[in-house]
Chain A
């Protein structure tokens, strides 16, 4: 019903105030819990709030946040990129292979990895738009395909200098020191380069999605593709672009991991998908937005990072981590969809 008959009996002022409080609480629930956690950890472990520890938290969540931002863009067009973790792992193996086996330098390697990410994203997008395969299924297929493909050139071995290839040759190349700097350099001796780069990428994506007309169209395509098409938007182009963006971000994440660990570890990317999807879904609840958004995704990733870091400091066993993540995710989803959600 429309807002007419304002002269009617207004609900008691106390109820209005309570409702406003409830809304405020819902909007900031994640931040309130975060503040409480920080206070708790700090009281138990005085080094928790040191700059070094804070940057180590950010370092630990940077790649997850980056991939989460990619997933966010695909969620915005009402899609879902399940292959983003595999793209990161593939990019990790590809850059290692490029340097160790093919003796590429840092620049060429990064360019190759990002191009591969874009191509995989394009393939995802075309499977979805041209062949009309549902998003989840297309990217699930791509996920398996990449997870398998990355094993083939090395016969399933991790890539380091001296690895024996399936044809019996021994790889003589080394990781370019410049490449390793991407993962290990600290600005002002403090801020890890990946954290700074992810912050820049996230900020740029946030600006794209929240402040430009292109961002509005991404969300419009997700809200009602027919209506967006009727309103003059090239909806298929946007849908494909979302997967290309997600693919490039995934590949960049893989580069960061490769540059940090300095070897092509076959298992390094295994938990990335679920962690980044969880960050994006926790992001729904941030500021009570109720949909995928870049700021929420980054906040969600940081929230999980702080929680795990603090619990580790308090000597909570490592194997409870997944349980904690799951509990946070369920809590955030309950907040988004259940508890007092708007109709």
Chain B
């Protein structure tokens, strides 16, 4: 862990109290901004300012209005009323391009929107200049390369610039997008859940970049639900609830108060006695790649095991192997005592092995234009074969299952026919979990289920996992140790495509944190090209 002391010295010398009004020191300021969607209030009379050289964190639960504020700042949405000023000048942010030219740089939450697929990383880094026009001579390959290399060097990004953008994982996509935003020479950088898919060491890289920007006089609006990140990086934070500002704090922060303001209730640390049943999943001498070491792991009925490791440590590959998406290189797997060699997800689903993949929009959800891509259809998709063996779909049955999930997981929506794009990230993830809760599972595999999920929704997800876990075994892959400790009975630390240690999460949990953390820091330092 990095001590906070040295960074304080770098902090902006500006006073950290009161909403700024002086034109010179203000990066962006919203005055009584409101936005309604039909009868729904997304933002109501919000006053918020970010000074140059200041990092302001924006906290809020599902549907609190964070994303709406981000979209207004980036010119995607226009407010119904209220005024925006940038560097003291009133502006009308009518489009993303206008916002960018006004000095607002945005890094989005959805990783598939962070860049242009099919184009190499170098071009992605200079995309804004290419799209923005006015740099007619820039489009020479050698100059693009040189400019891209300079942009990458700015934040210490070491990637093969000729590689295709789609070859990057979510974390590297995010870093490319941040590098791009930094290059735009913005007065305000807006980061939407930037550490959601980053490992601890990648997050450190990000924080050092933010520090650099702060000392350069860039204002940063940092949307996150991770208290640890906010404690490290923010000068001030603002809590949104139901579209209104519910609280604001400067250092030293009182996070308990902030959580209360965010969700209107205290966070209780649940830790009930464990009941462990028969072994459901056994892994013996399993090798995920030809170069990696074999490992063993057993998961019992009613047990939740979290696999923790840095990006590229093999967590996803392990889950995908159990789900029939990757071949077994060597070793044996068993399910309820019988050998388990799935050849396809279809075989896995038929045997009660379910996987909710990483990055829900890539692996679980359908765009809204697809028929039956509403909540009910999303939940029913993998179960229709079992539910409707004769083929004819009974819509009432699908609705009933969806209503059950909505109630059990407290999904905020108008009903089962809401499209997923209308929901906030946390509620989308609840639908994904609801899908795999709609039928009894023997093994439930969850890959980064808390990605882009706020704290209130995370608690609901974990509660659902823990309350119904007696039914089967659960394996969760996360890169965040806090998340692992919150949801799991046992933590398996993964490194170089092998499980190096397991820790029981009980009274000695603190020890587990420390060792698991250090293992991750070690592995990420050695594995990641950062």
A residues in contact (CB < 8 Å) with B: 1-6, 8-11, 211-217, 219-220, 222-224, 226-234, 289-291, 293, 342
Contacts and interface: CB of A to CB of B under 8 A. Distances in A.
Given A231-B349, A231-B382, 6 more contacts: A1-B63, A8-B44, A213-B393, A215-B393, A220-B372, A230-B323
A224 B370 contact: yes
Nearest 5 A-B pairs (CB), nearest first? A223-B370, A232-B349, A223-B366, A2-B63, A213-B384
Chain B binding site: helix, strand, loop or mixed by DSSP?
Answer: loop
A211 B392 contact: yes
A227 B369 contact: no
Interface in B356-387: 357, 362-373, 377, 380-382, 384-385
A229 B391 CA distance: 19
A5 B346 contact: no
16 contacts: A2-B412, A3-B414, A4-B41, A4-B412, A5-B40, A5-B242, A9-B39, A11-B39, A213-B393, A215-B393, A216-B384, A216-B393, A224-B365, A227-B362, A232-B345, A232-B385
B56 interface: no
Contacts of B111: none
A6 B38 CA distance: 10
Contact of B370 (A2, A226, A291): A291
B143 interface: no
A220 B345 CA distance: 15
B265 interface: no
B369 A211 contact: no
A224 B350 CA distance: 21
A11 B36 CA distance: 9
A301 B437 CA distance: 43
A3 B413 contact: yes
B393 A211 contact: yes
Contact of A8 (B39, B67, B412, B424): B39
Contact of A224 (B325, B348, B367): B367
A8 B423 contact: no
Contacts of B325: 230
Contact of A5 (B243, B348, B371, B372): B243
B405 interface: no
Contact of A216 (B38, B349, B350, B377): B377
B382 A3 contact: no
B468 interface: no
A4 B345 contact: no
Contacts of A212: 388, 391-393
A3 B367 CA distance: 20
B63 A219 contact: no
B37 interface: yes
Interface in B20-46: 36-42, 44
A291 B371 contact: yes
